[in-house]
């Protein structure tokens, strides 16, 4: 009997070693270029795609990790951008997987209230704002609200929702948060409660949520979309509480950084800051998962650091996925933005400004997350 046990143990060991070797071989076959592409999420114009569409060609050629949908095109001040109807958007998502990549992240900002891309005009159910839900303070109501948002996101073929905001409503007149009802509450406990329910309802439908805007945008007196946003005199570490609690409770899927600047934390905005991303988020709050940037084309980055330097600083700070909306009031639309971003990152690696190890670290996080949230995952 002991010989049989020995033989079985030996066979199991051989099997495990073969699995490891197969995994190592598969990993070794993935090029640096393929890994770089997975760190890029880009916006594009178009309500339908085909095999010859520029966005699909870029997805395939540069292995782009994701795209983001908008319903309004900011540079041209017009509609449509990506959305005409619920059926059309569902087909667009399906065709991006068909002609681009099956494992692509398809993202949207669907918070409820004013920040909604899936509007009633396109056949979707309207949803109340986070502020309204927070003031109600009823768990069942929050669950129904969050479930309805998750349902329409899922129905659109989208697998990433850049929501919920967990910014505290410190300044009700904050132009991009409090003033447009994007915060659940000034209370960290209330924000944590409602945000957690929101995420759990999305998880039920296999949708990835990215909480935002780290380390907190609720006290800001200006809008980082438009330019430099200094929170040095208004921010407090109370704004970290929702992140801390949800990380401890293993609720968080991903975290989006903001471009706010805090002179006592670093000399650069949060998205570009090693002190804030590595020091606070990674080390103090023990976050080991995906970190996504807010739009790298916002004025707070582009007007002060430029495109290439902004990418260099963000990657070295520890950002895993670079979001480039291609839908900014301060930067012209660029149909080749995915390819352009890829080439910038490759050049940064080739010149030693960003290490291969930094790319590989982020790639592993992205792929592991896709294995969880992309139902039809394939290389």
Q: What are phi and psi of 77, to 5 degrees?
A: 65, 40
> How would residue 92 be classed by pLDDT, with cut points 50, 70 and 90?
very high
Q: What CA–CA distance (Å, rounded) separates 37 from 23? A: 21
Cα Rg for the chain, rounded, in angstroms? 21
pLDDT at residue 340 above 60?
yes
pLDDT at residue 363 above 60?
yes
**Cα 165 to the center of its chain, rounded Å:** 12
Q: What percentage of residues in the chain have a pLDDT greater than 90?
A: 86
Q: What are phi and psi of 84, to 5 degrees?
A: -120, -45
> How would residue 221 be classed by pLDDT, with cut points 50, 70 and 90?
confident
pLDDT tens string 173-204 = 999 999 999 999 999 999 999 999 999 999 99
pLDDT tens string 248-268 = 999 999 999 999 999 999 999
The residue ranking higher by pLDDT, 25 or 156, is: 156
pLDDT in the model for residue 13: 52
Rounded to the nearest integer, the mean pLDDT of the chain is 92
- Pairing of the two strands 322-324 and 290-292: unpaired
pLDDT at residue 45 above 70?
yes
- Extended beta strands in the chain, E state: 40-43, 66-68, 105-108, 160-161, 208-214, 254-257, 290-292, 322-324
Contact 113, 181 (CB under 8 A): yes
> How would residue 223 be classed by pLDDT, with cut points 50, 70 and 90?
low
> How would residue 373 be classed by pLDDT, with cut points 50, 70 and 90?
confident
pLDDT in the model for residue 130: 98
Which residues touch 299 (CB under 8 Å, ≥6 apart)?
A: 224, 225, 226, 227, 228, 328, 330
Instruction: Return the minimum-mean-pLDDT range out of 149-163, 227-241, 324-338, 354-368.
Output: 227-241
Q: What CA–CA distance (Å, rounded) separates 102 from 330? A: 32
Relative orientation angle of helices 54-62 and 86-99, to the nearest 10 degrees: 40
Burial of 267 (0-12, 13-18, 19+ CB in 10 A): exposed
CATH code: domain 40-373 is 3.20.20.300
The residue ranking higher by pLDDT, 125 or 4, is: 125
pLDDT at residue 22 above 60?
no
Q: What are phi and psi of 225, to 5 degrees?
A: -65, -35
> How would residue 281 be classed by pLDDT, with cut points 50, 70 and 90?
very high
**Cα 358 to the center of its chain, rounded Å:** 18
Q: What CA–CA distance (Å, rounded) separates 142 from 137? A: 8
Burial of 112 (0-12, 13-18, 19+ CB in 10 A): buried
pLDDT in the model for residue 229: 85
pLDDT at residue 19 above 60?
no
pLDDT at residue 20 above 70?
no
Instruction: Return the minimum-mean-pLDDT range out of 334-338, 365-369, 370-374.
Output: 370-374
pLDDT in the model for residue 190: 98
Count helices and strands in the chain by DSSP H and E runs = 13, 8
pLDDT at residue 351 above 90?
yes
pTM of the model: 0.91
pLDDT at residue 11 above 70?
no
pLDDT at residue 369 above 50?
yes
pLDDT tens string 309-337 = 999 999 999 999 999 999 998 899 999 99
pLDDT in the model for residue 192: 98
pLDDT at residue 119 above 90?
yes
């Amino acid at each position: 009997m002991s010989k049989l046990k020995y033989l079985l143990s030996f066979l199991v060991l051989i099997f495990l070693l073969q699995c490891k070797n197969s995994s190592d071989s598969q990993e070794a076959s993935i090029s640096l270029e393929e890994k770089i592409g997975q760190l890029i999420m880009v916006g594009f114009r178009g309500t339908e795609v085909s095999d010859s569409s520029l966005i699909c060609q870029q997805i395939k050629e540069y292995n782009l990790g994701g795209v983001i949908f908008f319903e309004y095109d900011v540079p041209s001040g017009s509609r449509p951008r990506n959305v005409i109807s619920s059926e059309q958007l569902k087909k667009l998502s399906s065709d991006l997987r068909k002609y681009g990549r099956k494992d692509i992240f398809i993202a949207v900002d669907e918070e409820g209230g004013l920040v909604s891309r899936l509007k009633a005009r396109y056949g979707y159910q309207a949803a109340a704002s986070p502020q309204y839900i927070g003031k109600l303070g009823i768990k069942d109501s929050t669950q129904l609200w969050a479930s309805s948002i998750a349902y329409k996101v899922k129905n659109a073929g989208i697998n990433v929702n850049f929501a919920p905001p967990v910014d505290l409503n410190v300044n009700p007149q904050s132009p991009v948060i409090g003033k447009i009802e994007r915060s659940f509450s000034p209370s960290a406990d209330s924000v944590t409660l409602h945000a957690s329910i929101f995420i759990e309802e999305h998880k039920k439908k296999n949708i990835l949520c990215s909480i935002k805007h780290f380390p907190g945008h609720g006290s800001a007196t200006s809008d980082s979309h438009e330019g430099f946003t200094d929170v040095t005199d208004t921010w407090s570490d109370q704004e970290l509480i929702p992140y801390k609690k949800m990380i401890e409770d293993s609720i968080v899927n991903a975290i989006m950084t903001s471009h706010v600047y805090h002179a006592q934390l670093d000399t650069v905005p949060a998205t570009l800051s090693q002190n804030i991303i590595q020091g606070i988020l990674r080390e103090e709050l023990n976050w080991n998962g995906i970190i996504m940037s807010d739009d790298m084309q916002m004025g707070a980055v582009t007007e002060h650091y430029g495109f290439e330097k902004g990418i260099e600083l963000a990657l070295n700070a520890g950002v895993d996925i670079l979001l480039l909306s291609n839908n900014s009031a301060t930067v012209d639309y660029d149909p080749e933005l995915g390819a352009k971003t890829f080439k910038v990152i490759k050049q940064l690696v080739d010149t030693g400004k960003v290490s291969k190890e930094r790319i590989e670290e982020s790639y592993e996080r992205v792929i592991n997350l896709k294995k969880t949230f992309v139902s039809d995952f394939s290389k």
